[in-house]
Amino acid sequence: MSTEKPRRNQVGPSTQAVQGGEPRTKVTSAIAMPIIQSATFTFTDTKELSDYFEGRIERDEYGRYGNPTQRVAELKLAALEGAEDGLLFSSGMAAITTTLFAMLSRGAHVVVTDDAYRRTRQFLHQILRRYGIEVSTVPAGDYERMEEAVRTTTRLIFSESPTNPYNRIIDLERLADIGRRHRVKTIIDSTFATPINQRPTQFGIDLVIHSATKYLGGHNDFLAGVLLGSADLVGAVREFHGITGAISDAFISYLLIRGIKTLALRVARQNENAQRLAEFLEAHPKIERVHYPGLPSHPEHHIAVRQMRGFGGVVSFEVYGDLHTASRLVDACRIPRIAPSLGAVESLIEQPALMSFYELTTEERLQVGIKDTLVRYAVGVEDADDLIADLAQALEQI
């Protein structure tokens, strides 16, 4: 893991998570950011209205364009990511789709890696193609293929790091270099990493997206997404966002602010738990392979060590056997719940072949890289000894 020390004018991630982005003095002197539950905001007189529209003052006008609670959540995440600005959305997919719509037009071309989130790839290949936007898919980690795929019409390179579900690690510096040399914007979905473990903008990535539903909120109780990057790029998407209306309301923004305050603590525990589970699984005779960047056996472990401060809370692994063997293991676990999503305080477990690709045959799943024996374990903050003991008893039953 990276051992880079913060500069003197920087503070640590825990301090940023608690203090970053919030005004020192809030409305009514509250220590918690209040929920400004208003859809519209009044003006004192027409001069104030003119000052607002001509950019002499900053304030809120209408809830679709922003809310004070939302703005604090955006600034807090920007501070944590080390970005200039942030923009909150109603979900992670809303952040992805709105950003892509805002940055692309007919005739444009996008390069995406093959291990990107399934819904992202579906949106690119099925929806954007209908609007005359071309898409090339390249293997994650194949930078030669990635560069070869770039055309004069390419506008974006989109990837994840770590990827879902195999925890592939993208060399962010190398990706950013390709983007700079070809004048193509780069976007990383950094949901699996969180700003605690990785800050893609520090490696030259233009824009970062998180599903705030996951680690940032941390409690499985709301949906949200965020875009982070330079003020110019985020501002351009903000204008589009105000038209499409994929907004996050004040109460969700409040819950997000509240969740972020314990983010560094939760992620540290999840990093530790996941590392221990990965090491236990890799040594077990009934496990064929473990996909976790904290293991030296991971093909991009050396990259993860260089650019991450922690290796994340998702452990994917393959059992010896077939689909039903993996199902018996999942059903035998007593602590994790069977559910989609990840990043919250509760451990969750699933088989991607069933949870995300149920409608496909085994052969069709293999064509998109999903094995029937693959299990994804999203580690929570429970005691690692209990999680390992639970997995051990489950493995005895298959």
Catalytic residues: 64, 117, 189, 214
> Residue 386 pairs with which residues in a beta bridge?
none
Token digits for 347? 């451990």
Asked if 254 contacts 69 with a C-beta cutoff of 8 angstroms, the reply is yes
Token digits for 266? 């939760």
Token digits for 246? 């994929």
> Residue 287 pairs with which residues in a beta bridge?
319
Token digits for 48? 């104030």
Give the start-end residues of each E strand in 271-328. Answer: 287-291, 314-319
| Separation between Cα atoms, residue 312 and residue 302, nearest integer Å | 15
| Separation between Cα atoms, residue 105 and residue 243, nearest integer Å | 16
In 3-state terms, what secondary structure has residue 362? helix
> Virtual CA dihedral for 311, 313, 319, 324, nearest 10 degrees?
-150
Token digits for 116? 């990107």
In 3-state terms, what secondary structure has residue 57? coil
Number of C-beta neighbours around residue 181 at 10 A: 10
Token digits for 220? 């499985």
Q: Which residue has the tokens 């560094």?
A: 264
Asked if 162 contacts 294 with a C-beta cutoff of 8 angstroms, the reply is no
Token digits for 6? 């913060």
Token digits for 379? 């580690």
372 φ, ψ (degrees, to nearest 5): -65, -25
* Alpha-carbon dihedral sign for residues 337, 341, 344, 347: positive
Asked if 229 contacts 208 with a C-beta cutoff of 8 angstroms, the reply is yes
Number of C-beta neighbours around residue 25 at 10 A: 8
**How far, in Å, are 56, 59, 221, 304 from residue 215 at the CA level?**
37, 30, 11, 19
